[in-house]
Structure 1
Amino acid sequence: MIDHLDHLVLTTANEDACVRFYVETMGMTLEVFGAGRKAFRFGQQKINLHVKGHEFEPKAEVPTPGSLDLCFIASVPLDAVVARLGEKGVPIVEGPVMRTGATSRIRSVYVRDPDLNLIEISELAP
């Protein structure tokens, strides 16, 4: 019945810091749509952005900054990801480590975004 994920919603307590992280550090594209709504585009997916206390309806029952645990497959080798994180001053919480992804083994590093969501950035393992 389900084919793929179209988008998800991230709730932030600090819109400016969140935009900087996902655009400047993660390399996503900022999209503004509708009545000033914002989203981060990457590949064929996007993350819609809600600001805590100013969410768009309908919304999750308890939208909470810092409650997400997301895994992204990088478009560049993981060593390049680690270098970029270092350049941006983003500390690695764990990794590189081997994990089990949705379709194969992955090699991952973990960081936290400004809302303390856990962000896993991975490359497919050979």
Structure 2
Amino acid sequence: MLTTLDHLVLTVADIDATTRFYSGALGMEAISFTASGGGTRHALRYGSQKINLHPAGTAYEPRARVPTPGSADLCFLTDMPLEAWQSRLAGHGIEIIEGPVPRSGATGPLMSIYIRDPDGNLVEISLPD
């Protein structure tokens, strides 16, 4: 049986802009690592997971059939009150496009706010009820 998510990949138009957004506004740790085949790659670490960043147009294999910037819909859980997130995001000039609104998560009810990253991916920040 599967137990947890280790990492996911985001195809991005601009590694630096994406890194600034996720590390600055969302507090993730920007890291670089050497891929098993060699070469430096970039990622964002949070909790015990990470997001690998692939620049659009790269030939990393294997990969999604149609890797496209802006096609993701991500939900991150938080233990910080959404009011604090609203203030933090406003301080970074990031518009909340919806919320707080009630939603259903994998393990129960959530209160969520929605924003977009530099590629237009939908990012949901959710506080479990």
* Same fold per superposition (TM over 0.5): yes
- What corresponds to 2:66 in structure 1? 62
Cross-structure match for 1:78: 82
Q: Unaligned 5+ residue runs, structure 2?
A: none
SS at match of 1:31: strand
In 2: Cα distance, 1:55 partner to 1:103 partner:
36
The reply to whether residue 27 of structure 1 matches residue 27 of structure 2 is yes
Question: Aligned equivalents of 1:41 and 1:55: distance in 2?
Answer: 23
User: Which string of whole-angstrom CA distances, capped at 9 and with x for unpartnered residues, describes residues 62-84 of structure 1?
Assistant: 00000000000014111111110
Find the partner of 1:41 among 45, 70, 83.
Answer: 45
Q: Distance in 2 between matches of 1:85 and 1:17?
A: 16
For 1:13, the equivalent position in structure 2 comes to: 13
Query: Which TM-score applies when normalising by structure 1?
Result: 0.96
Which shifted more, 82-91 or 68-77? 68-77
* Residues 9-29 of structure 1: per-residue CA shift (max 9 Å, x gap): 000011111110011011000
Cα RMSD of the aligned pairs, angstroms, is: 0.9
The total of aligned residue pairs comes to: 125
Asked if 1:104 is matched to 2:112, the reply is no
Q: Within 2, Cα distance between the matches of 1:5 and 1:58?
A: 18
Amino acid aligned to 2:10: L
Query: For structure 1, which runs of at least 5 residues remain unmatched after alignment?
Result: none
State the identity %: 54
